[in-house]
Structure 1
Amino acid sequence: MKTLLPTSTAGSLPKPAWLAQPEALWSPWKLQGEELVDGKHDALRVSLQEQQQAGIDIVSDGEQTRQHFVTTFIEHLSGVDFENRKTVKIRNRYEASVPTVVAAVARPKPVFVDDARFLRKQTKQPIKWALPGPMTMIDTLYDDHYKSREKLAWEFAKLLNQEAKDLEAAGVDIIQFDEPAFNVFFDEVNEWGVACLERAIEGLKCETAVHICYGYGIKANTDWKKTLGSEWRQYETVFPKLQKSNIDIISLECHGSRVPVELLELIRGKKVMVGAIDVATNTIETPEEVASTLREALKFVDADKLYPCTNCGMAPLSRVVARKKLSALNAGAQIVRKELLA
């Protein structure tokens, strides 16, 4: 029987301290060579077990084998020079030193497929795999070749589609594309961003998702959120186009944010991963707080289409906090499940 309100995470989970520096993004690996390969697989197993113990229904790799949700994919492409770095402003918010596109981009071989196969062997539960979306990829690079954000995004969409097809063949049930850039570049999203995303999912038979959030709980993001006023209505600009798209699931941020929940009406008919866990705070939600967020969402999302989730990735949090937040997500979902089945 299909689980009602199946829980999942948006993506990243904290890495063990023996693998990488905790509570940091872009944290360097502490192991090398074969030890690093083994260490990543061990971390993936631990992450899976922590999700299972917390009662998460749709599990993931917790992004244990990658340093960053965007750059790790880009590192495996040709045409990108990581030595020749430039400083750019990411999502109009914070500066970062990023690699440069110096020639036509290509994907010489699969990037995450071995890791996905490894995860598939560890569990019979549905698994979700996150990839960076085309628009978020172009926003994390300096382009010295195509000289066009749109052209580069279409090239990335083709490469992502190749990777997604290989992940599907490896047994992944849901492929998610992370597109925080959809909350910033509204004109581009509507002109070509959603179309690019549809190119990335072309021909897939597994379920597809797009994750659009307000970012990790890092200072640049929390400072930006303070400028957004009493209501965060960014979703209003992109939801109508996404509602008409071929994407199956839309993953978004609800709890602890100022997103008016009625905006969910704009994607009525889609499956929705409702962020019911705030990743920008160490405060652990109570099961009742999670349940309250889900009940509000149920006014605009049919129960068989609602997937309780985290607002965003949890890499910058401590493992203890992340574990407790996942347990709260499960407990809150159970409360609402019982109410729906009563």
Structure 2
Amino acid sequence: MKILLPTSTAGSLPKPTWLAEPEKLWSPWKLEGDALLEAKQDALLISLQDQLHAGIDIVSDGEQTRQHFVTTFIEHLNGVDFEKRETVRIRNRYDASVPTVVSAVERQKPVFVEDAKFLRKHTDKPIKWALPGPMTMIDTLYDAHYKSREKLAWEFAKILNQEALELEAAGVDIIQFDEPAFNVFFDEVNDWGVAALERAIEGLKCETAVHICYGYGIKANTDWKKTLGSEWRQYEEAFPKLQKSNIDIVSLECQNSHVPMDLIELIRGKKVMVGAIDVATNAIETADEVAATLRKALQFVDADKLYPSTNCGMAPLSRQVARGKLKALSAGAAIVRQELI
């Protein structure tokens, strides 16, 4: 039976303290070798359990086996030197020391496929798996080889497609590409960003999603949000092109954001993952607050196309807060589900 308003997370969940330092992005692993591999799998199972316990309908790995949503994927590729670092401006917001593309980028072996098989083995629920999108990948690197953002993005799109096809074969139901860069580089999004994303999903039969958010609740992002004024209309730039694309689901940030809800009208016909949980605060939403956000969204998206979700990943939050937020998401969706029946 197909469930109405299926809930899911946008991506990461907090890691257990024995695996990595909590409430921190890029937190180093506390173990190594076989012990680390086992610990990652244990964490993945706990993350799955937290989602099931909260009543989440479409589950994920909680990104327990990766340090970061972009760099962990890149670490497994040839052509990128992590020792050779340069400082670049990330998404026109903050400076970061990043690895350098020194030669042709290639994927020699699968990156997350074994993790996906492991998750598939432990649940009958639909699985969503997140990958970084091509434009966000190029925005976290210094390119000394291709010297063209577009060229590098197309190379990454091909690599992502190889990974996505294998994830689908491993039993993943929805493959999501994280593209926060779509909220910043509007000309590139329309010139080649959406096209590169379509290259990444070529040949896939499973559902595909693009997650475009305003970032984790870290200072650089919250400071940037303060400069955006009373209405955040960034989605207006990418949505018309995405509406015409082959992507099935568009994921956006709605809770406590200044995104005008009527922008969803621009992707009419697509499924919409509506972010109804704010990841930039420790305050746990009430079920009624979540329900109110979903009701607003239902003015612009049909009920059978609405997927309640979180605004972004929850890695920087405490596990207790994240669990509370998952339960609120589930409870809020249940309220609206009842109203629709």
- Confirm or deny a common fold (TM above 0.5): yes
Is 1:316 aligned with 2:316?
yes
Q: Which position in structure 2 is the counterpart of 1:233?
A: 233
- Counterparts of residues 42-53 of structure 1 (less than 5 Å): 42-53=42-53
Is 1:197 aligned with 2:223?
no
Paired AA for residue 315 in structure 2: A
> For the residues of structure 2 that align with 1:89 and 1:118, how far apart are their CA atoms?
36
Count of matched residue pairs: 341
> Could you list the runs of 4 or more consecutive aligned residues of structure 1 that deviate by over 4 angstroms after TM superposition?
none
Mind listing any 5+ residue stretches in structure 1 that lack a counterpart? none
- Counterparts of residues 17-32 of structure 1 (less than 5 Å): 17-32=17-32
Q: Which position in structure 2 is the counterpart of 1:187?
A: 187
Is 1:100 aligned with 2:111?
no
Paired AA for residue 44 in structure 2: L
> For the residues of structure 1 that align with 2:191 and 2:44, how far apart are their CA atoms?
38
Root mean square deviation, CA, Å: 0.3
> For the residues of structure 1 that align with 2:323 and 2:31, how far apart are their CA atoms?
24
Q: Which position in structure 1 is the counterpart of 2:113?
A: 113
CA deviations over 1:122-178 (Å, ceiling 9, x no partner): 000000000000000000000000000000000000000000000000000000000
Q: Which position in structure 2 is the counterpart of 1:265?
A: 265
> For the residues of structure 2 that align with 1:200 and 1:274, how far apart are their CA atoms?
23
SS in 1 for 2:84: strand
CA deviations over 1:282-305 (Å, ceiling 9, x no partner): 001000000000000000000000
Q: Which position in structure 1 is the counterpart of 2:223?
A: 223
> For the residues of structure 1 that align with 2:101 and 2:231, how far apart are their CA atoms?
37
Question: How far is the alpha carbon of 1:261 from its aligned partner?
Answer: 0.2
Question: How far is the alpha carbon of 1:95 from its aligned partner?
Answer: 1.1
> For the residues of structure 2 that align with 1:149 and 1:32, how far apart are their CA atoms?
35
- Counterparts of residues 129-144 of structure 1 (less than 5 Å): 129-144=129-144
Q: Which position in structure 2 is the counterpart of 1:156?
A: 156
Q: Which position in structure 2 is the counterpart of 1:329?
A: 329
Percent identity reads 83
> For the residues of structure 2 that align with 1:156 and 1:133, how far apart are their CA atoms?
8
Question: How far is the alpha carbon of 1:114 from its aligned partner?
Answer: 0.3
SS in 1 for 2:63: coil
Paired AA for residue 63 in structure 2: E
Question: How far is the alpha carbon of 1:67 from its aligned partner?
Answer: 0.1
> For the residues of structure 2 that align with 1:319 and 1:301, how far apart are their CA atoms?
32
Q: Which position in structure 2 is the counterpart of 1:64?
A: 64
Moved more, 89-98 or 66-75: 89-98
Q: Which position in structure 1 is the counterpart of 2:34?
A: 34
SS in 2 for 1:175: strand
CA deviations over 1:72-119 (Å, ceiling 9, x no partner): 000000000000011111001111111000000000000000000000
Mind listing any 5+ residue stretches in structure 2 that lack a counterpart? none
Query: Which TM-score applies when normalising by structure 1?
Result: 1.00
Paired AA for residue 276 in structure 1: A
> For the residues of structure 2 that align with 1:160 and 1:27, how far apart are their CA atoms?
24
Q: Which position in structure 2 is the counterpart of 1:286?
A: 286
Paired AA for residue 281 in structure 2: T
Paired AA for residue 43 in structure 1: A
CA deviations over 1:238-292 (Å, ceiling 9, x no partner): 1000000000000000010000000000001000000000000000100000000
> For the residues of structure 1 that align with 2:330 and 2:4, how far apart are their CA atoms?
12
> For the residues of structure 2 that align with 1:90 and 1:110, how far apart are their CA atoms?
27
> For the residues of structure 2 that align with 1:98 and 1:111, how far apart are their CA atoms?
20
Q: Which position in structure 2 is the counterpart of 1:249?
A: 249
> For the residues of structure 1 that align with 2:301 and 2:177, how far apart are their CA atoms?
21
Paired AA for residue 173 in structure 1: D
SS in 1 for 2:246: coil
Q: Which position in structure 2 is the counterpart of 1:84?
A: 84
CA deviations over 1:14-72 (Å, ceiling 9, x no partner): 00000000000000000110000000000000000000000000000000000000000
Paired AA for residue 169 in structure 1: A
Paired AA for residue 144 in structure 1: A
Paired AA for residue 277 in structure 1: I
Q: Which position in structure 2 is the counterpart of 1:6?
A: 6
> For the residues of structure 2 that align with 1:234 and 1:28, how far apart are their CA atoms?
33
SS in 1 for 2:256: coil
